[in-house]
Amino acid sequence: MRVTVEMSLYPLERDALDKILAFIAVVRGDARLEVVVNQMSTQLRGDLGVVLDVLRKAIEQSFGASGSQALVMKVLNADLPIGDPPVLEPARTEASRSARRRAGRR
């Protein structure tokens, strides 16, 4: 099963950026995963078993290093195209299509 994960690590003590970058380095270190990092979160996708194994390794290293941390994670049982920008168009319902046809628009 392929999954998509979005996560954010929040170190609650000093050197937060160093801890975040070290966590991301562990996740990026496995070529079986696709990883996208932006200013707000890190997204990855891959086979569920691989994802969980890599995340367990990254969490153990990060949490074991020192200091309190919070990891917020969402896991979706779908293989989303995380490297592509999202399509932000509203879904057209049959009612909206009918109204557009009556108004002479497609």
Higher confidence at residue 30 or residue 65?
Answer: 30
pLDDT digits (tens, 9 = 90+) for 69-104: 999 999 999 888 888 877 777 766 666 666 666 766
Letter string b/e over residues 70-98, b meaning 16 or more CB atoms within 10 A of that residue's CB: eeeeeeeeeeeebeeeeeeeeeeeeeeee
> What domains, with CATH codes, occur in the chain?
2-76 (3.30.70.930)
| Amino acid 4: pLDDT | 95
Angstrom distances, CA of residue 98 to CA of 15, 17, 57, 89, 91: 57, 52, 53, 18, 14
